[in-house]
A and B are shown apart, each in its own frame.
Chain A
Amino acid sequence: MPRTREQLAERAAKELQDGFYVNLGIGIPTLVANYIPQGMEVTLQSENGMLGMGPFPYEGEEDPDLINAGKQTITEIPESSYFSSADSFAMIRGGHINLSILGAMEVAQNGDIANWMIPGKLVKGMGGAMDLVAGVRRVVVVMDHANKHGQSKVLKECTLPLTGAGVVDRIITDLAVFDVKPDGSGLELVELADGVTLDEVAAKTEAAYTVAPGVG
């Protein structure tokens, strides 16, 4: 069975470690915050200028001066701090953030990622995505394995303009988990979603990959 959005977020939460500073992208990555294990100290960064992001406010307690990078109203918690966007991206670019979990339109077997632009359609902009993939120590992509036309989003080469070249460390899809091998030799399938077979992944994946021992 392919993973649901919630199950994808739950799986992605397993990437978190105690003491991590983490930036979560918009969409499924945002849901990862709901699966931080009890007792684990994880600090969420919002790239507009906040560390220690709290949950959404209760109705009537929204503060227009307090939003996340998706422009949603949020709250502060005891460990929160605020800073300028220059300080925020110094943190990102300088490699101080442990983990970035973000969505993608395409990922290639060499770690290239495309998630900001479709030529010929309206281009909304890259926001902080290019800085995050270039600067954060570990970059994990969470996405559906195939697009809505059923075509693989895990590719030999990206067809869309890149957000970053050779920057992705791990790909978590509704079917499987792949690692981008650090030696540049391509992808390794390290995990199958419950009930998903090697054959099904093979049929739905354009990229070349090896299978880790014990998988399948």
Chain B
Amino acid sequence: MRKIYADVTSALEGLTFDGMTVMSGGFGLCGIPENLIAGLRDSGVKGLTVISNNAGVDGFGLGQLLETRQIAKMISSYVGENKEFERQYLAGELELEFNPQGTLAERIRAGGAGIPAFFTATGVGTLVAEGKEVRAFDGRDYVMETGLVADLSIVKAWKADERGNLVFRKTARNFNPMMATAGKVTVVEVEEIVPTGSLDPDHIHTPGIYVDRLIQTVSEKRIEQRTVRQRSAA
């Protein structure tokens, strides 16, 4: 079975439908599947529920799907960088569910691992716990959170071999490995596809079992907060 597709359009063909749930990897603009996001935009799919830690910025990343009003609901931990998001949310055009970042990460991990729910101390006594079961273990209260799965996960990795074994790079890993496990179908864009056997099996972050389709793309990799230090006068 060949996992490698020629381009974004063919990699997403037959996978999209209105009202579907999509997980999209990345933290801020770091490690986002920017070409597959653009592919979803071009597919014209509507009414999306998107599970992603952030919502991109105006005109880039998931911001592109907000501009075209293709997103109906976001499940995120932080959405502060997007004016169009703000406008749609305040106008009641967009539904938003906030999850604490660690709870979001664990819900995705649990979903991919076949765990329907778990208990966490995060959010106990806050708005996040309202309407959820709270149970005491060893004298401390924990709130029940459910696992998350998606119809489609779109993921960005650094390298893959032809069988879909993945290696991520630096902090671009973030939510990508868990999302790869929690999609009914997982499509991955990578910077380089290398021959099977050329990656050290001990250094593979995500085994190919989680990867259904694979494309090699060129990424812009925009930097959100360029911060530098001065060279001291030598």
**Chain B residue nearest in CB terms to A112:** B125
Task: Count A-side interface residues using an 8 Å CB cutoff.
Answer: 54
Tell me if A141 is interfacial: C-beta within 8 Å of chain B: no
Contact with B along A109-147 (1 / 0, CB 8 A): 000100001000011111111110011000000000000
Enumerate chain B residues within 8 angstroms of A93, measured Cβ to Cβ: 102, 106, 120-122
Q: Which of A10-18, A46-54, A199-207 contacts B (4 or more CB under 8 A)?
A: A46-54
CA A57 to CA B120, docked complex, whole Å: 36
**Known interface pairs A127-B77, A128-B101. Does A48 touch B126 (Cβ–Cβ under 8 Å)?**
no
Tell me if B31 is interfacial: C-beta within 8 Å of chain A: yes
Q: Interface size bucket, B side? A: 35 or more
Tell me if B192 is interfacial: C-beta within 8 Å of chain A: no
Asked if A163 and B126 make an inter-chain contact with CB atoms under 8 angstroms apart, the answer reads yes
Enumerate chain B residues within 8 angstroms of A82, measured Cβ to Cβ: 168, 170-171, 173
Enumerate chain A residues within 8 angstroms of B108, measured Cβ to Cβ: 86
**Chain B residue nearest in CB terms to A128:** B101
B77 to chain A, nearest CB (A): 5
* Chain A-chain B contacts (Cβ-Cβ < 8 Å), number: 176
Tell me if B50 is interfacial: C-beta within 8 Å of chain A: no
Asked if B30 and A165 make an inter-chain contact with CB atoms under 8 angstroms apart, the answer reads no
Q: Which of A66-74, A168-176, A181-189 contacts B (4 or more CB under 8 A)?
A: A66-74
CA A83 to CA B169, docked complex, whole Å: 10
Interface residues of B in 20-76 (CB under 8 A from A): 27-31, 53, 76
**Known interface pairs A72-B225, A73-B226, A130-B126. Does A85 touch B98 (Cβ–Cβ under 8 Å)?**
no
**Chain A residue nearest in CB terms to B227:** A72
Main DSSP-derived SS at the A contact region: loop
Asked if B125 and A76 make an inter-chain contact with CB atoms under 8 angstroms apart, the answer reads no
Asked if B225 and A162 make an inter-chain contact with CB atoms under 8 angstroms apart, the answer reads no
Tell me if A63 is interfacial: C-beta within 8 Å of chain B: yes
A112 to chain B, nearest CB (A): 8
Tell me if A62 is interfacial: C-beta within 8 Å of chain B: yes
Asked if B229 and A65 make an inter-chain contact with CB atoms under 8 angstroms apart, the answer reads no
CA A49 to CA B28, docked complex, whole Å: 13
A135 to chain B, nearest CB (A): 7
Contact with A along B173-196 (1 / 0, CB 8 A): 111111000000000000000000
Tell me if B90 is interfacial: C-beta within 8 Å of chain A: yes
Enumerate chain A residues within 8 angstroms of B89, measured Cβ to Cβ: 122
A167 to chain B, nearest CB (A): 9
Tell me if B163 is interfacial: C-beta within 8 Å of chain A: no
Enumerate chain A residues within 8 angstroms of B126, measured Cβ to Cβ: 130, 161-165
CA A97 to CA B101, docked complex, whole Å: 16
Asked if B79 and A48 make an inter-chain contact with CB atoms under 8 angstroms apart, the answer reads no
A59 to chain B, nearest CB (A): 5
CA A13 to CA B53, docked complex, whole Å: 30
A96 to chain B, nearest CB (A): 13
**Chain A residue nearest in CB terms to B140:** A134
A164 to chain B, nearest CB (A): 7
**Known interface pairs A84-B174, A84-B175. Does A58 touch B229 (Cβ–Cβ under 8 Å)?**
yes
In addition to A66-B170, A71-B225, A161-B127, 6 A-B residue pairs with Cβ atoms within 8 Å of each other are A47-B101, A58-B228, A62-B227, A65-B30, A88-B102, A126-B101
Chain A residues with CB under 8 Å of chain B are 46-50, 55-59, 61-68, 70-74, 76, 82-86, 88-90, 92-93, 112, 117, 122-131, 134-135, 161-166
Task: Give 29 A-B contacts (CB < 8 Å), ordered by A residue.
Answer: A48-B30, A49-B174, A56-B227, A59-B228, A65-B31, A67-B27, A67-B224, A72-B225, A73-B223, A73-B228, A83-B173, A84-B173, A84-B178, A85-B27, A85-B53, A85-B101, A86-B108, A86-B109, A93-B120, A112-B125, A117-B127, A123-B98, A124-B78, A127-B100, A131-B100, A131-B101, A135-B122, A161-B126, A166-B125
